[in-house]
Chains A and B, each alone.
Chain A
């Protein structure tokens, strides 16, 4: 026997505006929230971690790119009010690590990626190293990729 089921648009369209590609995260990334207190912890605990503003689309790009390579990046979302504090922490970590490469500490912008506990850079650096073929070896060395 059929029961009357109230249908709403949500039954047919899981996302509010129908897009064939699922843009919500159904992937295996771990998401967490970062604020001024746990940045250092997150960086040291994860082979690859991406800090980005909540809902930022560039962050999404970095995540997708890394996932496409077979990496399981941790994505850490930062609330607007914590942004400045988190960036400070990021710079501090970078400052302590003298061998972290030629990063100009004053120009850190979200999204920012840490690989193997060290500041790697933003989307631009990820793209550039990926195109030149340098990214994959770096990820392997950090233990983010096998094979």
Chain B
């Protein structure tokens, strides 16, 4: 609809055949995004109207100018072409400006919606007793420890986003090392707080924490024992910390190795736990007995799950502290910023994936 009307009006206004190339390219750009079409066509209408009023005088005078044109054809044509180019360029710039403004507002809107969705979803999800239960519509029991965690998490996330913004500003503004150190230590303390929160939540409902229920889907995908895997994160962050001394590189490499070894040990422990738990549940005669014979034993094993979550969080904490020891203040700030950004991107990816246009069934 855009391109055809543009073509139509242009021909009418100018009165001669002119390449409408510039206008049609912007139209092509807009076709792909239906949201933008409406307002950009409005802008287009405005500029068209403006030009119409400007050129009205030219239009009425066209016939009488024809003879003059024939006499001084080349010069007039050149001047007119230049004027039209200027016009087209001006319109192009205006459209571009409108487009960019649209993008900015859409982006802000997306971030807001994302946050709202997260909050609403988790409240709704947990009130129904979990993702599966809400699918089936079972009213589950409300776990106060978990509701408390979710509320705290909302606040924690707001504070986290603020801290990341502050870090970014600080690094760009080249503040002193002393002030930067304060920001870094605040950031680390904030993570410590989060691990404490998780600890309480694990005591309330270890399955909730193990499954990473408070996270977005992309974050949950990368989850290992209810949180991030330190060695993976180090691999992601390493290139962001350049330049590093050889000593630092060696120390970071050693840290990566240590994390990997600790993770492997914990993973193997988890596998053993999974195996023995399955055996406990299946013990006795499955076909004949309709009850769980070794309930106490099974419950005991579930208790040890809490221990695993705590140990995994402890490992994450120690890895962060060790990084802080290895890096300079500026590197540590960059590292924290990169870490925060990484998770923000994962969350954005989740939203984009969830709202991507799909083929109608």
Residues of A within 8 A of B (CB): 15-17, 19, 21, 23, 55-58, 60-62, 64-65, 68-69, 123-124, 127-128, 130-133
- Asked if residues A131 and B311 are in contact (CB atoms below 8 Å), the reply is no
Q: Is the CB of B262 within 8 A of A127?
A: yes
A134 to chain B, nearest CB (A): 11
Which residues of A sit under 8 angstroms from B319, Cβ to Cβ? 131
B259 engages A68 (CB within 8 Å): no
Find chain B residues with CB under 8 A from A55 CB.
276
Once the chains bind, are B278 and A21 in contact (CB under 8 Å)? no
Ranked nearest first, the 7 interchain pairs of A and B with the lowest CB-CB distance are A61-B269, A65-B265, A64-B265, A131-B318, A57-B273, A57-B269, A23-B272
Task: Name which residue of chain B comes closest to A61, CB basis.
Answer: B269
Asked if A15 contacts B275 (CB within 8 A), the reply is: yes
Enumerate chain B interface residues (CB-CB to A < 8 A). Answer: 251, 254-255, 258-259, 261-262, 264-266, 268-273, 275-276, 278-279, 282, 301, 304, 307-308, 311, 314-315, 318-319, 322, 325
Can you offer 5 A-B residue contacts whose CB atoms are under 8 A? Answer: A23-B272, A57-B304, A61-B311, A127-B311, A131-B258
Give which listed residue, B255, B259, B265, B304, contacts A56 with CB less than 8 A: B304
Which chain B residue lies CB-closest to A19? B275
In the complex, chain A residues whose CB is within 8 Å of the CB of B314 = 124, 127-128
Asked if B258 and A133 sit within 8 Å, CB to CB, the answer is yes
- Most chain B CB within 10 A, of A23, A127, A131, is at A131
Interface-centre pick from B259, B264, B272, B278 (highest chain A CB count, 10 A): B272
**Interchain CB contact under 8 A, B271 and A21:** yes
* CB nearest to B320 among chain A residues: A131
Contacts of B271 in A (CB 8 A): 19, 21, 23
Asked whether, in the complex, the Cβ of B311 is within 8 Å of the Cβ of A132, the reply is no
Q: Is the CB of B276 within 8 A of A61?
A: no
Choice from B261, B272, B279, B282 contacting A60 with Cβ under 8 Å: B272
Contact of B262 among A16, A56, A65 (CB under 8 A): A65
On whether A127 and B273 interact (CB within 8 A), knowing A58-B307, A69-B261, the answer reads: no
Cα of A21 to Cα of B264 in the assembled complex, Å: 12
Q: CA separation between A65 and B263, bound complex, in Å?
A: 9
Q: Which of B255, B258, B318, B322 has the most CB of A within 10 A?
A: B258
Closest chain B residue, CB of each to CB of A17:
B278
A120 to chain B, nearest CB (A): 16
Whether B318 contacts A64 by the Cβ 8 Å rule is: no
Contacting residue for A57 out of B262, B276, B318, CB 8 A: B276
Q: Which residues of A contact B262 (CB under 8 A)?
A: 65, 127, 130-131
A128 CB contact (under 8 Å) in B254, B255, B264, B318: B318
Q: Are B318 and A132 in contact (CB under 8 A)?
A: yes
Q: Which residue of chain B is the closest to A15 with respect to CB atoms?
A: B275
Task: Given the known inter-chain contacts A130-B258, A131-B322, A133-B254, please indicate yes or no for A62 contacting B265, CB distance below 8 A.
Answer: yes
Give A131 to B326 CA distance when docked, in angstroms.
12
Considering only CB atoms, which chain A residue lies closest to B276 in the complex? Answer: A55
Known contacts A127-B314, A131-B322; is A68 also within 8 Å of B265 by CB?
yes
Q: Given A58-B307, A61-B265, A130-B262, list of 13 further CB < 8 A pairs?
A: A19-B271, A56-B304, A57-B272, A57-B308, A58-B269, A61-B268, A64-B269, A65-B262, A69-B261, A127-B262, A131-B319, A131-B322, A133-B251
Contacts of A61 in B (CB 8 A): 265-266, 268-269, 311
- B308 nearest CB across to chain A (Å): 8
Contact between chains at B272 and A124 (CB < 8 Å): no
CA distance A131 to B265 in the complex (A): 13
B261:A68 contact, CB within 8 angstroms: yes
**A145–chain B nearest beta-carbon distance, Å:** 14
A130 contacts B311, CB within 8 Å? no
Q: Please name all residues of chain B whose beta carbon is closer than 8 Å to the beta carbon of A15 when the two chains form the complex.
A: 275
Q: Give A18's nearest chain B residue, CB to CB.
A: B275
Q: Which residue of B lies closest to A58 (CB)?
A: B307
A132 pairs with B322, CB closer than 8 A: yes
CA distance A131 to B258 in the complex (A): 6
